[in-house]
Amino acid sequence: MTATPAAPPVDLSNLREAQAGLRGIARVTPMVESAALSRAAGVPVFLKAEHLQPIGAFKLRGAYTALRRLSAEARARGVVTHSSGNHGIAVSWAARELGLRATVVVPADAPAVKIDAIRANGAELILIADRAEREPTTQRLIAERGLSFVPPFDHPDVLAGQGTVGLEIVEQRPDVATVVVPVSGGGFLGGVATAVHALRPATRIYGAEPEGAAKLTAALKAGQPSRIATPRSMADGLLSPSVGQVPFQQMRGTVTGALVVSEDAIGSAVRFLWEQQGWRVEPSGATAVAAVRSHPGPLAGPVVVVVSGGNVDPALFSALTGVA
């Protein structure tokens, strides 16, 4: 007899609770129509501006929700996470707001703007030379200090917080037909897909990812999370080697597919958002826009594209846009 798959851990009521807990913390970000994208796609295209969160990225939602839901005993021990940047900023910011001690393990080659933000939030910052050492270093700190771990994506509470973006999308654009979300470990995509599918099951939901870090494509092909040996992209926030087990469980039956984009398309999208919207957006934050520009064919309108982060390295932004 085939075992019945377990129900996904995050449902609509869980998302609603997360949304209530974020009032006064996370901004209800604006949604604006992009005239240029709408003309190119032949359908209305709207941009959900998550780079306008207080920390410059959507990650605030998941980190704060996870820390808020910790037990008093877990909070007292202090928290630790590993991050390529924005999740670390989010955890350090949320910990400061909640009066908790935070330690963040970050690759030394992460953008300086992200490292500086983590440090400014008062967290203990541990820089590592090899990205592959993020998880082992974090596990060692947990064992040595008894810290409470706040995963970047593979946790129901993190996913529930990120999924509140999906609730806002449907509230702001009830007739949405397509949603495009950048994907790394999948917590954001899994959360948004859970919310949108619960409220508008006919809406098509895509994950956008760099061709050098196409872990969603690999997972959908294998029917389970599948690890990429060496993910590479200028989109430093999308370099998880695989999607998580919890996000993948939430994606089943809710995510339509993956849209893979080139490095040139990502860089062009950063420039496009500056020239058309006046937005300084990091490559990870522009990847969903790159996907719509590269794959307009299968997208029914109205389309909502999530611009996920704006913590861009100044030198990289200047190289991509010609703007100091």
Around Cβ 226, how many Cβ atoms within 10 Å? 17
Domain that holds residue 42: 12-58+155-321
- In a shared domain, residues 46 and 93: no
- For 161-198, write each residue's pLDDT tens digit: 999 999 999 999 999 999 999 999 999 999 999 999 99
- In a shared domain, residues 85 and 40: no
- For 234-270, write each residue's pLDDT tens digit: 999 999 999 999 999 999 999 999 999 999 999 999 9
- In a shared domain, residues 237 and 204: yes
Of 201, 205, 202, 208, nearest to 192 by C-alpha is: 205
Last residue of a domain, one of 125, 149, 173: 149
pTM of the model: 0.94
Q: In whole angstroms, what is the distance from residue 12 CA to residue 117 CA?
A: 33
- For 23-53, write each residue's pLDDT tens digit: 999 999 999 999 999 999 999 999 999 999 9
- In a shared domain, residues 181 and 233: yes
Structure tokens at 167: 């609730």
| Segment 16-20 mean pLDDT | 98
Which residue is associated with the tokens 């089943």? 252
- In a shared domain, residues 123 and 200: no
- In a shared domain, residues 39 and 167: yes
CATH number at residue 76: 3.40.50.1100
Q: In whole angstroms, what is the distance from residue 114 CA to residue 125 CA?
A: 11
- In a shared domain, residues 290 and 311: yes
Please list, in sequence order, all residues whose beta carbon lies within 8 angstroms of the beta carbon of residue 55, skipping any fewer than 6 positions away: 86, 89, 90, 93, 117, 311
* pLDDT confidence band for 84 (50 / 70 / 90): confident
Beta strands at 303-307 and 79-82: parallel, antiparallel or unpaired:
unpaired
Last residue of a domain, one of 129, 149, 169: 149
Q: What is the pLDDT of residue 289?
A: 98
What's the number of domains the chain is made of?
A: 2
Indicate whether 4 belongs to any domain.
no
- In a shared domain, residues 190 and 177: yes
Beta strands at 178-182 and 148-149: parallel, antiparallel or unpaired:
unpaired
**Percentage of the residues of the chain whose pLDDT score is greater than 70:** 98
- In a shared domain, residues 177 and 291: yes
Q: In whole angstroms, what is the distance from residue 31 CA to residue 53 CA?
A: 13
Q: In whole angstroms, what is the distance from residue 201 CA to residue 234 CA?
A: 33
Of 106, 100, 261, nearest to 180 by C-alpha is: 261
Last residue of a domain, one of 149, 167, 185: 149
Whether 272 has a pLDDT exceeding 70, the answer reads yes
